[in-house]
Amino acid sequence: MNKDPIKIFVGLGFASVLALMGLISFISFSQITSITERMSQLFAETHIKTSAANTMRDSIRLRGDTLYEMYLTDDYFERDEYRIKMGIHALRYKEARDLLYTFNMSAREAKLLNQLMINTRIAKELNDTTTQNLLSDMPVESIQYDLQQANEARHVLQTGLNKLVLLQEEIARSIIHDTKKNQETISNIIFYLFLAAFFIAIYIAQLVIRETTKKNSAIRFQATHDELTKLVNRKEFNNRLVEAFDTIKNSNGNHKNHALCFLDLDKFKNINDNCGHKAGDELLIELTRIIKNHIRSHDTLARIGGDEFGLLLEGCSLDKAIEITEGIVSLVKKYEFNWQHKKFHVGVSIGLVMIDQNTQDIEKALSKADIACYAAKDMGRDQVHIHGLDNENAKEMHKELSWVADINTASNDNRFSLYLQTIKNLKNQNLQNQQTSSMCEVLLRLRDDKNGDDEGRLILPGSYIPAAERFGLMKEVDYWVIKQAFKKLSNLYNTVALGSNNKCNTCLFINISANSLTNHQFADFVIQQHKKYNIAPDAVCLEISEASVIKNIEQTSELIYALGKYNIKFAIDNFGAGNSSFSYLKDLPVDYLKINGNIIKNMSHNTTDKAMVAAINQIGKVMNIETIALHVENIFTLNQLKETGIDYAQGYYLDKPEHIDRQMKEVKTFMQLRSAKH
């Protein structure tokens, strides 16, 4: 049998390419290993230096704290115990310093360490003098002077140690940069060599398989796809449906469920009859594009008839399936088809059935989806009908998911409204006659116009915010609220002159969701809007619920530090609602604690709640955080809050929410009167 010369050529070519790639890989990875080991050693050394410097810094801080505690106590024996603790801290400092001297030092490190040695001696002498005086009968004034001198010396020493830590971090970054640079160079060499070998292999392979692959692909595509829309056809859709059904049956209950949908266009026949099949074909192509952009990448959309489509949502829960299908209904309903200067609108009715362990076979599932689709048409078209919707849980889920489409279009339809509720200062003796408060919380309301009422009833956030957070829609809501609130503040500045310190003495408290905490672009957006509207200092306070803070401590801290540079304040909302400790507050420089309303409402007849309010207030005072009581509903609660020392209060007894335009008008009038007096 004669051997095909092309196959021989291809075989030899591939063997040569693989051998070359193996050789290049061996040499390149050997060099990478060598560089990595060398850099790892340097990095480990720098890490030890950094740890030692941090230990020195902590020892200095602890020694200062111990000296202050020694000053606070009047007990001689306790003072002697604190003196021993100071010696322990000093020993840790010396051990860390000696460890640093065991390494080779750069000129900058040596210079810093020499200066630290000088500052250490000064600080030690002052600490020892203060300690001895505290153990003696020296006058309080002398001891306080010595303590001040010791603190100043400690601050100088800590400044030097901070510089040393920063220098070690700079060295670590330099090592990392050098390592990455070397590795990138070698990686680039490997990449280009592999790329060359890859193209050689591709070129060789294409000599034989190019035309064959092209023909096979075309044949298979024609057999499995619709010619007009390029969607999969009924046969291929059934095949994928069978595969999805098999994954359920063979998963022993561990595989996610699937959703099967039938889509039937409404009013499509009118376009075919009035404009011809060419217009109908163009409409199908456009709607296909719209629907495909809305569904997930691994979902299957198929054309199974003239204006009928099948949709398989693999690994999809019922609530997610409702979200997707409700979105399709909304998109198709809003789409305007233009043909020969005429405008047309169509709709879509969708039947949905879940494929799970209880599904007996595919044919019954298809039948149920078809029946559900006809039910959607019978119920008025342009909607989703779920097979088995008699289940109360499914009904409740469908109701909740109906908010999703509303939230997606609310800002465009101007259905969102902002209201303000004032936050009263309890230090003011005449609360009821207190003029417009300088602090207000921004409240979001959604207008329900489903019944054709232009005004519509106002829907409180509790009805739709959970659904919005659940499906990740709160990013757009938060953005809308911040932009509108900043815009209202800017309008206020344009009509009323600010004070000499450029402050308007009006602060808006704006709630942000957990979605925004985990959104890396959120801080940049707020800063952008802050600059755009030229917001005055201390005019904005962002509220984050305690539950969100606990779940996202790191993100909350980063956000506070990023926005704190722009004089934006922060408050923890619903504080005390959970069972978390106060310890996390040490790492979060917030300005206000808004105490949970349930605790406030019960404090007048529940001693435990009253004690909790007092404890929260005391913690706030110690940490220089002001407290705000929520849901103040009667005079008895208000009086107890005053006795406890709470700084501010908010609730229907003090003020009911008003539309932001009306409230801003009052603020404007108040500011004009105040400006006139001055």
Whether residue 394 is predicted with pLDDT greater than 50 in this model: the reply is no
C-alpha–C-alpha distance, residues 29 and 187, integer Å = 9
At residue 95's C-alpha, the angle toward residues 89 and 101, to 5°, is 140
What are the extents of the domains in the chain? 5-196, 234-389, 472-677
C-alpha–C-alpha distance, residues 383 and 326, integer Å = 7
At residue 448's C-alpha, the angle toward residues 443 and 449, to 5°, is 140
The three-class DSSP label of residue 161 is helix
pLDDT at 103 (0 to 100): 77
Inter-residue contact 293 to 328 (CB < 8 Å): no
Q: What single-letter amino acid sits at 483?
A: K
Region of poorest pLDDT, from 9-18, 44-53, 114-123, 406-415: 406-415
Residues 472-677, CATH architecture: Alpha-Beta Barrel (3.20)
Q: What single-letter amino acid sits at 191?
A: F
Whether residue 33 is predicted with pLDDT greater than 80 in this model: the reply is no
Q: What is the tens place of the pLDDT at every residue in 364-383?
A: 888 888 888 888 887 778 88
> In the numeric block, which tokens belong to residue 207?
């000599």
C-alpha–C-alpha distance, residues 183 and 203, integer Å = 30
C-alpha–C-alpha distance, residues 438 and 440, integer Å = 7
pLDDT at 677 (0 to 100): 58
Flag whether the pTM goes above 0.75. Answer: no
Percent of the chain with pLDDT over 90: 26
Whether residue 254 is predicted with pLDDT greater than 70 in this model: the reply is no
Alpha helices in 225-233 (DSSP H): none
Choosing from 307, 478, 573, 609, which is the catalytic residue? 307
Between 3 and 150, name the one with better pLDDT: 150
Q: Which of 264, 343, 276 is nearest to 309 (CA)?
A: 264
Looking at the DSSP assignment, which residues form a beta bridge with residue 459? 446
Between 494 and 675, name the one with better pLDDT: 494
C-alpha–C-alpha distance, residues 647 and 427, integer Å = 7
CATH code, 234-389: 3.30.70.270
How far from each other are the two terminal CA atoms of the chain, in whole angstroms?
A: 109
Q: Are strands 416-422 and 439-448 parallel, antiparallel or unpaired?
A: antiparallel
CATH code, 5-196: 1.20.120.1730
**Mean of the pLDDT values across residues 116-124?**
78
Inter-residue contact 303 to 233 (CB < 8 Å): yes
Percent of the chain with pLDDT over 70: 84
Q: Is 307 a catalytic residue?
A: yes
User: What's the pLDDT band for 460 if we cut at 50, 70, 90?
Assistant: confident
Inter-residue contact 70 to 206 (CB < 8 Å): no
pLDDT at 158 (0 to 100): 77
Sheet harboring 347-355: ordered strands across?
300-303, 308-313, 258-266, 347-355, 384-386
Rg (the chain; Cα; Å): 35
Whether residue 117 is predicted with pLDDT greater than 50 in this model: the reply is yes
Q: Which of 444, 450, 434 is nearest to 464 (CA)?
A: 444
Cβ atoms < 10 Å from Cβ of 660: 20
Q: What single-letter amino acid sits at 617?
A: N
C-alpha–C-alpha distance, residues 23 and 107, integer Å = 43
**Mean of the pLDDT values across residues 442-457?**
66
The three-class DSSP label of residue 637 is helix
pLDDT at 1 (0 to 100): 44
Inter-residue contact 97 to 51 (CB < 8 Å): no
Q: What is the tens place of the pLDDT at every residue in 287-346?
A: 999 999 999 989 999 998 888 999 999 988 888 898 899 899 989 988 888 888 888 888
